[in-house]
Amino acid sequence: MTRSRLRPSLRGTAPGTKVERAAWAAGLGVVVGIDEVGRGAWAGPLTVAALAVPEGRRITRVRDSKALTAAEREALFEPLTAWALGWGVGHVSPNECDQLGMSAAQRLGARRALESMGLMADLILVDGTWDFVGDAAGNAEVRTIVHGDAASLSIAAASVVAKVTRDQIMRDEAENFPAFNFERNKGYPCAQHRASLSGRGPTTIHRRSWSFMDGLPWTGQPRIHPGGSQGVLFA
């Protein structure tokens, strides 16, 4: 099968392997990138992916998932996961996000992703400035990298895996809640999503502790207030 050409806007933007190569040279054999998607969504899971880049094996066309189209990400998924030394995904349900809060939800997603990867990491690279891996790292070193999904191949690869897997979940949920257009907005804020919420109230996959719930009609799903208490806004 002939692969489409790389879009001109993506040329020269490939994430590097400087950190990974330095780690391998220092004897750290399993280098894992980790990234999350869905933190800012109103509906659906928080998804964290972990992916170990193999030493000495190349792959092309990987970019930060936000720079790729949906078709480009999906075309990369199978080659990327076949190329990886190991990979795993951890989903945190909307209800868990409500009950735990987003910081603890990220830590839980990271733990699940690393456990499902089935490898013991030596170095874990995390996008951003906050180490949400925490104790799940075990004996591995954790480094945060600002804009890591654009700078590190490990993190960029993890970002693609996280995005593709979560997007598929939201496309599946769209069949259950057709008025919300989840196949397009993936549960993120937008005018159409807000209008559907205002007219219909939240679904079972909405995060019911968030402030966007204030003032919405009650449709049988109880409000979850920050801190874990539950109640009904409007009876």
Query: What is the C-alpha to C-alpha distance for residues 63 and 159, in angstroms, rounded to an integer?
Result: 9
- pLDDT tens figures, 81-137: 999 999 999 999 999 999 999 999 999 999 999 999 999 999 999 999 999 999 999
- pLDDT tens figures, 28-50: 999 999 999 999 999 999 999 99
Which band of pLDDT confidence, cut at 50, 70 and 90, is reported for residue 228?
very low
pLDDT for 225: 66
Strand-pair partners of 206: 43
pLDDT for 9: 64
For the stretch 207-210, contacts whose Cβ atoms lie closer than 8 Å and that sit 24 or more positions apart, written own/partner, are 207/41, 207/42, 207/43, 207/94, 207/97, 207/98, 208/94, 208/98, 209/97, 209/98, 210/42
pLDDT for 107: 97
Q: Tell me: domain 15-174, CATH 3.30.420.10, correct?
A: yes
Query: What is the C-alpha to C-alpha distance for residues 13 and 69, in angstroms, rounded to an integer?
Result: 15
Quick one: what percent of the chain has pLDDT higher than 90? 72
pLDDT for 234: 25
What's the whole-model pTM score? 0.89
Rg over alpha carbons for the chain, rounded to the nearest Å, is 19
Which band of pLDDT confidence, cut at 50, 70 and 90, is reported for residue 2?
very low
pLDDT for 111: 98
pLDDT for 12: 65
Whether residue 209 contacts residue 194, with contact meaning beta carbons closer than 8 Å, is answered with no
Query: What is the C-alpha to C-alpha distance for residues 26 and 161, in angstroms, rounded to an integer?
Result: 27
pLDDT value at 146 more than 70: yes
As a dihedral over the C-alpha atoms of residue 100, residue 103, residue 108, residue 112, rounded to 10 degrees, the angle is 140
Q: Maximum Cα–Cα distance for the chain, whole Å? A: 63
- pLDDT tens figures, 151-194: 899 999 999 999 999 999 999 999 999 999 999 999 999 999 99
pLDDT for 220: 60
Q: What six digits make up the tokens of 41? A: 């969504």
Which band of pLDDT confidence, cut at 50, 70 and 90, is reported for residue 213?
confident
Spell out the domain ranges in the chain: 15-174, 181-231
Which band of pLDDT confidence, cut at 50, 70 and 90, is reported for residue 233?
very low
Helix, strand, or coil (residue 32): strand
pLDDT for 1: 38
Q: Report the chain's mean pLDDT, rounded to a whole number.
A: 89
